[in-house]
Amino acid sequence: MVRLSLAALTIALTSTTAFAQTEISWWHAMDAELGQKLEAIAQGFNESQDEFVVVPTYKGGYAETLTAAIAAFRANEQPAIVQVFEVGTGTMMAAEGAVYPVYQLMTDNDQPWDPSAFLEPVTGYYSDTEGNILSMPFNSSTPIMYYNKDVFEAAGLDPETPPRTWAELEEMSRTIMEAGAAPCGFTTGWVSWVQLENLSAIHDQPYGTLENGFGGLGTEFTFNGEVQTQHWENLKAWADEGLFQYGGPVGGADAPPKFYAGECAMYMNSSASRAGVIANATDFEVGFAPLPYYDDAIAEPKNSIIGGATLWVLNGKDEAVYDGVAQFFTYLSSPEVQAEWHQATGYLPITNAAYELGQEQGYYGENPGSEVAIEQITRGEPSANSKGIRFGNLTQVRTVIDEEFEALLAGNKTAQEALDAAVERGNQILRDFEAANS
């Protein structure tokens, strides 16, 4: 009887504790291995205290998650936290009344908050014009270049010296193909993000007016300038020659297999692709390098810009929930949690302390190339053209850019005509966004 009573008491106490915990709903867009690692972070926080329980829920890809969150907010069924990709930033900022800015959340709940602790190129993307960070940096990445060292060696190239400029990349691609080391020089994921948005930032070229959209509504695209047009002309010429192979629209789903199979010697994509590249490129040694640049357009290339997502806090919850969210964000941004997330995924360490911890642990020395993304995105002082871009409905604009790029490759338009059309169509999307949010 005594044992039964103790057991019953234990269950009762456990139930009472569980009941007393405040639930924090977290909608996210990560499945497979990334989803498992995300859930491990939530579990780690849940086990670190007994007052709150974070409940992560996968809601589909980035676009689906954002759409679901907007619909849920309108039905007053929103989560406390939602993961939103970087191109959704303009949409979230325009959703007045729906968002609880993270800098305000942390202050209201007496949690430590030092904006200077974060990597500047990361927080700059998600800050208002006064420098206040609006959403919690989480999974930030930037594009880099992966290359096949074995192919380089077979072509008589130095496998430790990847191309630094686009002229060198063109020359090396031709050498590789003429040597029969690979049938293709290079491919790329995300034409819009890598070959236009980041190309513009690295060469300090404006992507749009009003500081690339940071200045508010009323902006217009300007990515049809001389540098961008010359680059698209080159991509077309290189595609015709076979030096470049197109990987497809959006993320370029055909690009990774071309690299993994040794078909293309070089491959540009997110730093967060690192784990996938290492797991799939098993027949050759992989090298890592910054994105190339045109040295006749800029002597010292600027920083690249980020991709990935941040965590937005939605209004309409109890104070206890926000207390828990703030404590969770403190846990999430701790050096130990961030360093482990960064090293396991290839996403950037969002804080300087997490980066320094990785250095102390010897991670970068033991994993060659793992520092390339950090060095590239922190290169120099960000300019108005390289701190990022912020436009409403940017996902739709990226679709337009893909369509115009394919028209270029098909020979239906020149580079200038394709980019002019993308700007014109993109500006109409901006006007539609303004009309819906003013």
What's the farthest any 2 CA atoms get from each other in the chain?
Answer: 86
pTM of the model: 0.88
CB atoms < 10 A from the CB of 326, how many? 22
Joined tokens for residue 312: 């937005």
DSSP state for residue 6 in the 8-state scheme: H
The number of helix segments (H) and strand segments (E) in the chain equals: 21, 10
Joined tokens for residue 380: 């120099």
Q: What confidence score (pLDDT) does residue 148 get?
A: 98
- Rounded CA-CA distance 105/107 in Å is 6
Joined tokens for residue 359: 């250095």
Identify the three-state secondary structure at position 270: strand
Q: What confidence score (pLDDT) does residue 93 get?
A: 84
What is the phi-psi region of residue 262: left when phi exceeds 0, alpha when psi lies from -120 to 50, beta otherwise?
left
Q: What confidence score (pLDDT) does residue 287 get?
A: 97
Q: Give the helix ranges, DSSP H, for 294-378.
A: 319-332, 335-345, 352-361, 363-366, 372-377
Q: What confidence score (pLDDT) does residue 73 get?
A: 93
Q: Are 361 and 344 in contact (CB under 8 A)?
A: no
Q: What confidence score (pLDDT) does residue 75 get?
A: 94
Amino acid identity, residue 16?
A: T
What is the phi-psi region of residue 221: left when phi exceeds 0, alpha when psi lies from -120 to 50, beta otherwise?
beta
Q: Give the helix ranges, DSSP H, for 23-165.
A: 32-48, 62-74, 89-94, 102-108, 120-125, 149-154
Q: Are 105 and 315 in contact (CB under 8 A)?
A: no
Q: What confidence score (pLDDT) does residue 8 get?
A: 40
Q: What confidence score (pLDDT) does residue 2 get?
A: 35
Identify the three-state secondary structure at position 56: strand
Q: Are 404 and 419 in contact (CB under 8 A)?
A: yes
- Rounded CA-CA distance 237/224 in Å is 18
CB atoms < 10 A from the CB of 135, how many? 28
Please provide the size of the chain in residues.
438
Compute the CA torsion angle 257, 261, 267, 268 (nearest 10 deg): 30
Work out the angle between the directed axes of helices 335-345 and 352-361 (0-180°, nearest 10).
Answer: 70
- How is 272-330 classified by DSSP, letter by letter? GGHHHHHHH--SS-EEEEPPPB-TTT-SS------EEEEEEEBSS--HHHHHHHHHHHH
Question: How far apart, in Å, do the first and last CA atoms of the chain sit?
Answer: 69
Q: What confidence score (pLDDT) does residue 19 get?
A: 58
At residue 290, what are phi and psi to the nearest 5 degrees? -65, 165
DSSP state for residue 198 in the 8-state scheme: I
Local confidence pLDDT in tens for the 438 residues of the chain: 333 333 344 444 444 444 589 999 999 999 888 899 999 999 999 999 999 999 999 999 888 999 899 899 999 999 999 999 988 888 888 887 899 999 999 999 999 999 999 988 788 788 887 889 999 999 999 999 999 999 999 999 999 999 999 999 999 999 999 999 999 999 999 999 999 999 999 999 999 999 999 888 899 999 999 999 999 999 999 999 999 999 999 999 999 999 999 999 999 999 988 888 988 999 999 999 999 999 999 999 999 999 989 999 999 999 999 999 999 999 999 999 999 999 998 899 989 999 999 999 999 999 989 999 999 999 998 899 998 898 988 989 999 999 999 999 999 999 999 999 999 999 999 999 999 887
Q: What confidence score (pLDDT) does residue 9 get?
A: 42
Task: Kindly provide the b/e burial profile for residues 103-113, where b requires at least 16 CB atoms within 10 angstroms of the residue's own CB.
Answer: bbbbeebebeb
Distant-in-sequence, close-in-space partners of 5: CB < 8 Å, separation ≥ 6: none
